[in-house]
Structure 1
């Protein structure tokens, strides 16, 4: 499967590396793969990405490494999003290149990625481009201090499809397994067993991750205060939201917003 967003076939380009800068990315919800490894960097906006049944969130200033021949698809995201996508022929044996990674892009790598924009969609091999992108690829594992767990794994069992859709729509409400069982018309025990087996999480933990992902979307948009976001995604207090956010992200919301390049209000997001 090779889903093309470009006027050329990526895998037939006869050069080891390829850069594609998209100023206004058009989402295409089709599963596809590439023979080349792929680095996706979100310069502005946010993007969801499905890989191996996991739905990953890529906020601004984050990147995803996708191994070669890995089936994936882009999902919904910002109405307008700027992406830098790089494709690499791989001869690397290090484990990093064979695993999915989503990570905050450090300043040095960000500048390298932006510098590479000069070669966007150029199909002829340039020795300078090859040398530069080869260095970037070689050093990439050193830039990934910690791959962030910005993903959820929705239940694949079709018997839970309506219940899952309801959960994703009403994530800010306090839902119980009994609510999902009524929607799915299955016993609580059956729903609980399927849900835990296919997501690897309890309902409360799954809902926590869903709330945090939704809050990151809102942080990314920078239209609401941190307090407003906390209540919007279902938390009863700013402190409860901050504690939950920190347990997932290892950052406070205000710290994470700074990493997105956003402006933080003077209001603290936690009680010191």
Structure 2
């Protein structure tokens, strides 16, 4: 189905639960919002979800809850990415979970129910008793089994100078960048660049840069053609142990453990 077409269909029936599964290919979904809350699950790579203020890095085998009305765009990291979406009406008295975006690991119960829905597409309405009951149960289980949101996100820069600097860092992620050299390249002093990061994105250069590198490595870890050592080099780490230790601090597990725990098995 055409992406623009399906986005206009999501809210046509305000009482339905809308289901949409697809292989994204090279496409991206332009900035939009919907009245329903969105459960977004991905396989095969990382999906970037961009809101006005943040960039979320949604890794395979995780889901993101996108609350009603939140403006967002979706960019896949690979043509192999599969997205599985369920859109739910959210009443105004719903729990806090449904009104806050977040990224969460998927549990086995949700995975089984999601597998059950993978042949569904379009509106699921009350008269479809079997499907509707399962979809409602899925929504309830989301809130009841939710764990702490994973902070796999970076703030969006607003200062034009910092936007250019972050683009440079992203485009040259394979190189190691130090604050003094970066400041010099953009005709700034060390102190002024440090202050700019703190003021505009609310974190230090080293924290932002470290997270940018680690989040980028998530995309490469989904590609089994690269060894862990090669991935370390691809994001500018000369030392494999340094990369592994840093990855563990940010993600809570080693790169090899992460790769093993995120093998794809949700096939069409």
TM-score (norm: length of structure 2): 0.88
- Kept after mapping to 2: 8 A contact 1:52/1:72: yes
CA RMSD, aligned part only? 2.3
Residue ranges of structure 2 left out of the alignment (5+ in a row):
none
Aligned to 1:16: 16
Distance 1:38 1:7 in 2: 12
Q: Secondary structure of 2:232's match?
A: helix
User: Which has the bigger relative contact order, CA under 8 A and spacing at least 6?
Assistant: 2
In 2: Cα distance, 1:222 partner to 1:188 partner: 39
- Alignment partners' CA distance in 1, 2:238 and 2:7: 49
Deviation of residue 122 (structure 1)? 4.4
Q: Which moved more, 1:172-181 or 1:242-251?
A: 172-181
User: 2:180 maps to which residue?
Assistant: 178
Find the aligned partners of 2:198 and 2:153 in 1 and give their Cα distance.
16
Per the TM alignment, residue 234 of structure 1 is displaced from its structure 2 partner at its CA by 1.8
Q: Which residues of structure 1 form unaligned runs of 5+?
A: 263-272
Q: 1:172 to 1:87 in 2, by over 3 A?
A: same
1:25, 1:83 within 8 Å by CA — same for their partners in 2? no
User: What are the equivalent positions in structure 2 for 1:200-215 lying under 5 Å apart?
Assistant: 200-215=202-217
Q: Distance in 2 between matches of 1:60 and 1:33?
A: 23
2:260 matched to which residue of 1? Answer: 258
TM alignment of 1:159-174, pairs within 5 A: 159-174=161-176
The structural deviation recorded for 1:241 is: 1.2
Q: Is the 8 A contact 2:124 2:131 kept in 1?
A: no
Which residue is equivalent to 2:234? 232
Is the deviation greater in 38-47 or in 130-139? 38-47
Task: Provide the C-alpha distance between the structure 2 equivalents of 1:165 and 1:15, rounded to a whole number of angstroms.
Answer: 42
Q: Judging changes above 3 Å, is the alpha-carbon distance between structure 1 residues 5 and 208 closer, same or farther for their aligned structure 2 residues?
A: farther
TM-score (norm 1): 0.87
**Number of positions where the alignment pairs a residue of Structure 1 with one of Structure 2:** 261
> In structure 2, what is the equivalent of residue 192 of structure 1?
194
